[in-house]
Structure 1
Amino acid sequence: MFRFLRSLVLPEAACEEANNSSRYENLFKKLDLNEDGRVDIAELHAGLKALGIPLGKDAEEKIFKTGDSNKDGQLDFEEFMQYLKDHEKKMKLAFKSLDKNNDGKIEASEIVQSLKILGINISEQQAEKILKSIDADGTMSVDWNEWRDHFLFNPATDIEEIIRYWKHSTVLDIGDSLTIPDEFTEEEKKSGQWWRQLLSGGVAGAVSRTGTAPLDRLKVMMQVHSSKSNKMNISSGLKQMVKEGGVRSLWRGNGVNVIKIAPETAIKFWAYEQYKKIFANEDGKIGTIERFVSGSLAGATAQTSIYPMEVLKTRLAVGKTGQYSGMFDCAKKIFKREGLKAFYKGYVPNILGIIPYAGIDLAVYEALKTAWLDHYASDSANPGVFVLLGCGTVSSTCGQLASYPLALIRTRMQAQALLEGAPQLNMVGLFQRIIANEGILGLYRGIGPNFMKVLPAVSISYVVYEKMKQNLGLA
């Protein structure tokens, strides 16, 4: 995005002897559109856009927050120059951290090596695409001047922030357990952006789950009741639910499903940060395997904490009209009839399901993203939100496919007490009974509506998430 800055704005930047003050002054004049000696955020936005350097609103605000020392909402030349000087120092440190052989230029092999240290594995071909997006003179190496000009107005402060788009972001919620919690930079934590992003994701998840609740309840009903003798399909299942409890019954259990988003997200985020500290090396860095283990443990910790709500959701979804007056009535009746241990029925297959889901989800996501970058990326090493969204949707679906039998066993164990005359089997016994009576396909009852809800869930979640980001000043 910044590759034309040198030719458009800083023709003398290629010379090491160029005077910094005149260089900054030349750029300041191009941004000071009304020539009053000050640049406000509107002028910065318009000026950079005119120069072919469009920035996001959050990046422009971050520049002003850092550079506007007297807090008057404008940058005079002294503030502007001081900001660029301080920012160049940070970019110099980032440049040196990549320049492993200290020859004054960054090559593809050095990018591969540096990102590997940060726990991100990329190919030489992908590293060359990163170089291509920065390289202004076509030498396939980046010197300090090229690096500085490319990142001149990028408010990132270190190399970790610069390559953040390579991580597996899981802020969008499609109603199933997500694996690796989202990560936030120190700047985002200090500025409060982290809680705004989590809030945006939480609201998006609540709306998404509510929009696809009928399919989610249908999945649970088919997992519990569908068999060779009771061939419940999508059409008959929906008709049966409406006939039994009316249209409102399609959303039975959704309240608990929405309420548990907040505690689950908070616990997962907190636990992930703690586990990362445990697995980090002496330099505070964490690799891919350690990040995966930390994420899986954080997911298990969050699931353990909110698991009773999972049981309540299943019981409400499977229960008949009038059986429970609400979540608290359901909890009271379960405790009175079955005791405290009933709130953790199906816990073992639920925890075991995290491993195949997490491993396949992450592996497929990275494979798809890498394949896209290798074959379709041209000028940028950033795949873009829609490509990442597509990769995430497919990888999540593959993860669900692998872990679905365990999810079905979990749901049946949670609902066994409601089925009259049904023996109370453990995980192994229930697995054997399903195989004997229904065959392998019996382990995939309800997977149809489960897959049907993925696309609308992702779409709703993405739209609401973007709207929430705009309302909270993140976009």
Structure 2
Amino acid sequence: MATHKIKRYQYGILFYVADREQKGKVTLQDWAVFQNLLAKPDAEYEVIFRFFDRDRSGYIDFEEFYGTWQAHKGEDSLPFNWSGDWATLYIGAKNKRHIMTYPQFAQMLRGLQGERVRQAFVHFDKNKDGFIEPEEFQRIIRETAAHKLSDYLLDNLPTLCNIATGSKISYANVRAFQNIIQQMDMVELIIRNATIKSADGKITRTDFLNEASRISRFNLYTPMEADILFHFAGLDEPSGRLGLRDFARVLDPSWHTAYTLGTDAIADAGQKAFAGTKSLLHDVLESVHHFALGSLAGAFGAFMVYPIDLVKTRMQNQRSSGVGQVLYKNSIDCAKKVIRNEGFKGLYSGVLPQLVGVAPEKAIKLTVNDLVRGKFTDKGTGNIWWGWELIAGGSAGACQVVLYPTLAMSSRREAC
């Protein structure tokens, strides 16, 4: 559920349910009971039942229910006939109303949304030709299911008319759309399974239907339902091969739309140009960031092991002379004499050229490796062929070798 779509007064409904004694405040015990209620698997139904059960009797009569419904119905809400055949089946005819227990009430709620959509469609279908305008369809869905849908999907609801010829939306389209949004969890499971099996992480409408028939024996989707799903997920991807990110705009209710499709072409082009510039700037800043981190890591590593490198260099230097008395007996003796004669700072004699050289050398190696790996990593799956990994490591090593010999000679001369 997208919490940014919930109005302030709707939180008051939850407060009313939590305030068991109707004192206008929620005690710690009330809150503990309410949290336990929300943890139940059927919490959504039970919270609504307790809201309508004003006298806390454990059942709801029609007058109690209808009064609460009317009090919380907006002035511009779509009409709903509680005296019609559908409502009569659950609550009885006008003169034969009966009370509803919690299980009965929950079952009525289960079908209420579908009936609201049907009655709203009939309300807008003035000439009884079985079609309504796209904006009327958008209003129906916004009023009945906006809290369950993403901003992207809600903004583009009128485009449903484009899945068939004509400029209006049929009742079959509306029912197919409703079936899809009522089974979002199953749809997402099918899509994830299908994309995992795809080499490039993208699937077609046929892939979706095949996976749906494989994963479920009874919960099959009609061609129109599949068309609607792929229509909204692929509004800006005409190839018909869609990945998880494309479907997330439809399945994730918290998805926020950056801009609405179908607006002025110049504005759309400007958005794309800005996105391209932003992407380029991001790549540059990311490379600078990696270079800086590599420099710090290289400099820190070189600084920490420099005393060992200095001792090693001086031991090698005295062996290379081949004449005269040996100055150092071993590495430990060398370190002691350096500290005694030059102080502790003597262990870091000549460290500055080492840092100046090693820092960019390590940074170049890490940056080149990341750059090559990034270019050949599949953006959809995040995988990279092992051959490209070898090339990335080889390229990084080659760049390091070009720079390192000069730096190594410089540091050795300073160490001596």
Interval containing the TM-score (normalised by the shorter chain): 0.3 to 0.5
Tell me the TM-score normalized by structure 2.
Answer: 0.32
- More RCO (CA 8 Å, sep 6+): 1
Higher Cα radius of gyration: 2
Tell me the TM-score normalized by structure 1.
Answer: 0.29
